[in-house]
Amino acid sequence: MPSSINLKAQRSHAYLSSNLPSMIRYSDEVAAARSAGLPLVALESTIISHGLPRPTNLQVAKEVEAIVRDAGAVPATIAVIDGEINVGLDLKSLERLAEDTSVVKASIRDLPMVHVKKLSAATTVAATSHIAHQAGISFFATGGLGGVHRGAQESWDESADLMALATIPILVVCAGAKSILDVPATLERMETLSIPIIGYRTQRFPGFYLADSGFTLDYRADSPVEVASLWHARHA
């Protein structure tokens, strides 16, 4: 049975969900992929605007999209450009995210404000997951997840990413939690929120830029078919 906290979170996301699909602008590449039923991979944009130094950020954004294409899927980098939610970015929009210092960072709560004020924003893991789900995309690749910050017992500083992962049906491939976080506390919160963590061909929880954070996972999957089976079993 879903926990009461999950039900509350689902209701809190509902006000964004009803009109969001009509507010989304799809790139030509993503629109064509949707029409043809091709596989899509959502990509977040905060790493472009806030996560990496210039000009490495733009280079990495292009390389990640190329990797997705080489694997036979279509990349759908998500961001807000002048208040418009974009699923899939052309080169001009990627360059703007990488170079424009006025681009803000938007989580789920910020989406109405950046839309109304016509701001440009890079989307966090939470916001990217939310938009991807509304766009019918079930697969999302990112770097590090947000989680519980160190000293959270006093500051109550916890990323909205966790609640999003607990309530939005999306499969996220990541490199664990960001290294600045309290990793043990983050893992405990993920357990409390019933967020399954599956190691792909490993049973070690990664440490962002390290393959092993020192924590062991309960479960692993050794093939894409097994991952897909786990996904379908969870959302049956």
Q: What is the pLDDT of residue 182?
A: 87
Residue 6 predicted with pLDDT over 60: no
Residue at 54 is within a domain: yes
What does pLDDT average to over the chain? 89
Average pLDDT over residues 118-134: 96
Residue 44 annotated to the active site? yes
Please name the helix (run of DSSP H) or strand (run of DSSP E) that holds residue 234, with its range, or none.
Answer: helix 224-234
- 130-to-166, 189, 210, 211, 233 alpha-carbon distances in Å: 12, 20, 27, 27, 21
The whole-angstrom separation of Cα 165 and Cα 129 is 8
Cut 0.75: pTM above it = yes
Residue at 18 is within a domain: yes
* Domains contained in the chain, number: 1
Residue at 180 is within a domain: no
User: Where is average pLDDT lowest: 18-22, 81-85, 106-110, 172-176?
Assistant: 18-22
Q: What is the pLDDT of residue 97?
A: 94
Block residue for tokens 């999306």: 170
Name 104's bridge partners: 121
Residue at 202 is within a domain: no
The whole-angstrom separation of Cα 173 and Cα 147 is 15
Q: What is the pLDDT of residue 17?
A: 54
Express each pLDDT in 68-102 by its tens digit.
999 999 999 999 999 999 999 999 999 999 999 99
Express each pLDDT in 184-229 by its tens digit.
999 999 999 999 999 999 999 998 888 889 899 999 999 999 999 9
- Three-class SS of residue 28? helix
Residue at 150 is within a domain: no
Sequence letter at residue 152: A
Residue 117 annotated to the active site? no
Answer for the pair 107, 45: CB distance below 8 angstroms, yes or no: no
* 76 alpha-carbon distance from chain centroid: 11
Dihedral sign from CA coordinates of 13, 15, 19, 20 = negative
Give the domain extent around 42: 4-142
Q: Which of 29, 44, 65, 158 is catalytic?
A: 44
* CATH code of 66's domain: 3.40.1790.10
Q: How confident is the model at residue 51 (pLDDT cuts 50, 70, 90)?
A: confident
The whole-angstrom separation of Cα 23 and Cα 5 is 28
Q: What is the pLDDT of residue 157?
A: 75
Residue at 124 is within a domain: yes
Residue 140 predicted with pLDDT over 80: yes
Residue at 125 is within a domain: yes
Q: Which of 29, 65, 158, 178 is catalytic?
A: 178
Residue at 72 is within a domain: yes
